Amino acid sequence: RYKAGPKEGNMLYLKLFLLLTFLTLTSCQTQQQQQQQQQQKQSQPSDEPLHPPQSGPMASLFGQELHALQLVSETEAQLVSLPSQTSLSNTEVVGIYFSADWCGPCRQFTPQLVKFYSKINSPKSSRKKLDIVWVSRCRDWDSFGQYFTTMPWYALPFEDSLGSLGEELSRKYNVKSIPSLVLVDVKTGKVINKDGVNELRKDLSGVG
């Protein structure tokens, strides 16, 4: 029986050590590649819509989705996407509110609108008399997010507000200045009042 000498034994040990090191490095690289591939999949936008496609006057008006703020703690909220037609189906009238954080008259009017919105929608009723969709005219995403925290209603997604959909809504209702509030019948999509700002200013109670 052959017995390896000290020198040969050291060489054998070295080969085993190198082999184990190679296998360990290969395993680590494979895990890193799998993690990177998983991260890439998560970061890439999905082609599938968040909600099943819907049809109806509100979906035609605002597109498939609206944004809302959802509280996750007493001091934090996250932006969530909701189907527009379903979200607005439980109200009678929707107000399309054009405004921006940089607009002084908007900053004055928004708290009045919030007060009116809270007063007209009784917490005891399961159906709202009025809901609102904000069409932002803010200049950047951060301004949109900060200003949205002052509002208890929905918003058109920021990219849609600044894109073709926002411009289409402005042209459709002949919006020349902000703030502007257009009241629309939810069931039919027909205009009830294009001058909601001045109507509300005349009567801040707005009820009855």
pLDDT digits (tens, 9 = 90+) for 181-200: 999 999 999 999 999 999 98
Mean pLDDT, residues 96-115 = 96
Bond into 179 cis (ω within 30): yes
Q: Is the pLDDT of residue 12 over 70?
A: no
Q: Is the pLDDT of residue 146 over 70?
A: yes
What average pLDDT is seen over the chain? Answer: 82
Total residues found in the chain within this entry = 208
Q: Is the pLDDT of residue 123 over 80?
A: no
C-alpha–C-alpha distance, residues 124 and 127, integer Å: 9
Best CA proximity match to 133, nearest among 75, 63, 77, 203:
63
Question: What is the per-residue pLDDT for 64?
Answer: 92
16 φ, ψ to 5°? Answer: -65, -40
Rounded to two decimals, the pTM is 0.72
Adjacent-strand bridge partners of 184: 94, 191
Best CA proximity match to 135, nearest among 160, 171, 101, 105:
160
Question: What is the per-residue pLDDT for 10?
Answer: 58
Give the tokens for residue 89: 């189906």
Question: What is the per-residue pLDDT for 116?
Answer: 92
